[in-house]
Structure 1
């Protein structure tokens, strides 16, 4: 680990402030340095606290490890370099730290699903750190606070980008706990150069919503969010229900941009207005972004990983696929899949659709909006972290319209594009 890390005044204040609140919330823009401060704040706490067991929780276990333990080079494993082991016991995987006050077990778990709370039932914890707390299931959040009631040095920490002003985590968690809230912007990150700040500002300033949220770090009402009707209560179910009718895949590809492939299962149910109703169940998701990870993969590599994903889905759900729809613009991905024996068809990307005054992509958007509103479209919670819905859930709250033109902004839409493709097929085959 780099021993010459430069901290901003705000980072230093957060790391060394007294522990006179039981809950520190670090909320602000991406690239603001808040998570790095969280790493060192936690390391300080673990070094002196008297409790042995602690928890790191994010949407899934992989995210918990990435956000807190690795942390892009400043996480706990780097701070405690040479003083930790990765272990596993009856409570799960954990980072075992050797500290001046004895061994500390830092468990890391996923908390984004309805059954996540079962992973910590019966545990007694000294502290909990929440990564992207606004993406976690509320039952898991509340149970985490209960698990620390008997702690000797009770403490909690959360970081998040600004949620919508009405997000339940604000009233049900932040305003209930003994909370100290700290606001962050990109100005609080000492490693971001003035040149890079200018570049980021110029990008964000083109959209008033993004400027307020990702530059000023404000909670703003995302009036332009396209799929604002998506409901975490109504459009997410814990397990597949109904009679399975068909499995098919939909995909959109890129190298710098994300490659996104979803497994879709159509189920049949007793109808309300007709004999049978059908639902489009998004059960699993392959997603990789070269820009986000810094690792750009060749299309041949994507094709091999997608084939593995397809075969895993078929085995897991005991079905054979009928179709693999890929965006017609992704010719290279289709060719690579064909070489591996995976036949594909061009997805209906709405290029030629007209419905009243709506044309093109707007037709597909309206169809998917209706499917969400009428609960024909649902996410089925996925236990396999590699193929869960983390990236879809991040995009669905960010994909929006340009405030000036009213047209969809071509960003945060990779999984939503292929979701639209899958719904186009579902709509024409099972709804019309």
Structure 2
């Protein structure tokens, strides 16, 4: 038996009388669960056959809305829903009182994501974490529903910075019903759990305002706030390749993140290109893997990168603290070296980790660091972390949202000492 809050009930039962509905607010606020049941209700009444769920990548689209941690479409409809595929892609076939519906799920975070929906005619689109989607994909989705009999769009997101383009270019352009959500709107979170979350977030003023009060705030405390999704993400690798290497940060409960990096020379300047990322979090997925399993999956990742980019790698650096991961990698034939984690670095007034952070900030600012898109091991988790990794009220980097950020720093350390200094 699912218990809904008054706001969730209001959202689920609302009339379908606007072009776009936006649920914006904090994580763990119950907004996505409300979206699951809202969309399920819509599917039972719309005469349109084809619909779309779009997230940064296809895996996220399935996880966030088809599965939805137990409250997504496949659970709501039960035996009336079956995963299938056709020439247009993977979809969930749903039997409803108004006919069979096809709910496609696709990725929309890349520059060329729009190719996946060209020619499709849709009744509705669900935008998961709309602030992480490419604007071309968002706008094309609205065009794909022009001929719908019961046109509908639903978006959810955590509060973006107040100057994020999705606000002016999407929310303020459409006829929009906007709802603000906080953790107080989630009926299943206990007061004890709320207090625990508050105490964690209160260590950082930025995260407290964003993830507790649900406010749009400028990320002054975010360490890599100079990263620009338009400027620093490329669809292809540019320049003459010089070297491929890997860096890794690992843990079982925490996330394990491994990046493939290629150094190129472009317009007379060396660049560090992050071309692929293996990432798994035991705490986020609820699936804690043995280090031996991580090692096998990482080896498959390495082999994919070697084949994809037709390059041999020179180095594989691992956080010195991850001794068990290094040992498992050695057992399956991957030699590793301890990564430079800045433990002994001093540069001017900067010491330790701050030296690496400064180098990484300079690499981004000086246009010497880029993400390069690929079809399989994308940068979703890097992009999420880069927008969250921040400092506490004392100016110290918070030990959270930092697994991809740590191994990113290790890659920059190697790049700087070999190609810049």
The separation in 2 between residues aligned to 1:56 and 1:132, in whole angstroms, is 11
TM-score normalised by the chain length of structure 1: 0.96
Matched residue, 1:411: 400
Task: Name the SS for the 2:177 alignment partner.
Answer: strand
Q: Determine which of 264, 284, 289 is the counterpart of 1:292.
A: 284
Matched residue, 2:308: 316
Q: Determine which of 94, 117, 122 is the counterpart of 1:120.
A: 117
Is the CA contact (8 Å cut-off) linking 2:125 and 2:154 kept in structure 1?
Answer: yes
Q: Determine which of 216, 219, 241 is the counterpart of 2:216.
A: 219
Matched residue, 1:342: 334
Matched residue, 2:99: 102
Task: Name the SS for the 1:82 alignment partner.
Answer: helix
Matched residue, 1:79: 76
Matched residue, 1:377: 369
Output aligned runs, 1:87-166, within 5 Å.
87-166=84-163
Shift in Å, 1:244:
1.4
Is the CA contact (8 Å cut-off) linking 2:306 and 2:313 kept in structure 1?
Answer: yes
The separation in 2 between residues aligned to 1:409 and 1:83, in whole angstroms, is 45
Larger mean CA deviation between 204-213 and 345-354 belongs to 204-213
Shift in Å, 1:312:
1.1
The separation in 2 between residues aligned to 1:126 and 1:189, in whole angstroms, is 29
Matched residue, 1:397: 387
Shift in Å, 1:270:
3.3
Shift in Å, 1:101:
0.7
The separation in 2 between residues aligned to 1:130 and 1:62, in whole angstroms, is 14
Task: Name the SS for the 1:192 alignment partner.
Answer: coil
Matched residue, 2:415: 426
The separation in 2 between residues aligned to 1:406 and 1:86, in whole angstroms, is 48
Shift in Å, 1:226:
0.6
2:298 pairs with 1:301: no
2:333 pairs with 1:333: no
Matched residue, 1:274: none
The separation in 1 between residues aligned to 2:237 and 2:87, in whole angstroms, is 29
The separation in 1 between residues aligned to 2:122 and 2:296, in whole angstroms, is 42
Could you tell me which runs of 5 or more consecutive residues in structure 1 were left unpaired when the two chains were aligned: 272-276
Matched residue, 2:231: 234
Q: Determine which of 174, 178, 203 is the counterpart of 1:206.
A: 203
Aligned CA-pair RMSD: 0.9
The separation in 1 between residues aligned to 2:85 and 2:404, in whole angstroms, is 34
The separation in 2 between residues aligned to 1:72 and 1:312, in whole angstroms, is 29
Is the CA contact (8 Å cut-off) linking 2:257 and 2:280 kept in structure 1?
Answer: yes
Is the CA contact (8 Å cut-off) linking 2:204 and 2:391 kept in structure 1?
Answer: no
Q: Determine which of 13, 17, 20 is the counterpart of 2:14.
A: 17
Task: Name the SS for the 1:80 alignment partner.
Answer: helix
2:252 pairs with 1:251: no
Matched residue, 2:345: 353
Task: Name the SS for the 1:81 alignment partner.
Answer: helix
The separation in 1 between residues aligned to 2:16 and 2:353, in whole angstroms, is 52
Task: Name the SS for the 2:78 alignment partner.
Answer: coil
Is the CA contact (8 Å cut-off) linking 2:262 and 2:273 kept in structure 1?
Answer: yes
Matched residue, 2:41: 44
Shift in Å, 1:269:
2.1
2:24 pairs with 1:27: yes
Aligned length: 421
Shift in Å, 1:188:
0.9
The separation in 1 between residues aligned to 2:240 and 2:112, in whole angstroms, is 23
TM-score normalised by the chain length of structure 2: 0.99
Q: Determine which of 257, 263, 268 is the counterpart of 1:266.
A: 263
Shift in Å, 1:30:
0.6
Runs of 4 or more, structure 1, over 6 Å off, are: none
